[in-house]
């Protein structure tokens, strides 16, 4: 993307997918923040984790919070 920082690369990627009409945040899919607890409970129940970094409950919460920004 010809950017110089991680943040600018993320913004450029977000713009790219937005130009394609792809949602990049949960509200863009129609999900309301009121569903956050339900989604987080399911993530924790199913022990959602990463392949390179093992996620803890607080990590899942932080990731989900960013998905609603």
How many whole angstroms separate alpha carbon 25 and alpha carbon 23?
6
pLDDT at position 50? 86
pTM of structure: 0.73
pLDDT at 69 over 90: no
The tens digit of pLDDT for each residue in 1-58 reads: 899 999 999 999 999 999 999 999 999 999 999 999 999 999 999 999 988 989 999 9
Give the count of alpha carbons within 13 A of 54, CB side only. 1
pLDDT at position 59? 95
């Amino acid at each position: 993307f010809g950017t110089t920082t991680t943040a600018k690369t993320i913004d450029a990627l977000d713009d790219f997918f937005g130009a394609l009409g792809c949602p990049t945040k949960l509200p863009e899919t129609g999900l309301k923040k009121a569903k956050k607890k339900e989604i987080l409970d399911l993530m924790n129940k199913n022990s959602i984790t990463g392949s390179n970094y093992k996620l803890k409950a607080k990590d899942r919460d932080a990731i989900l919070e960013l998905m609603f920004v």
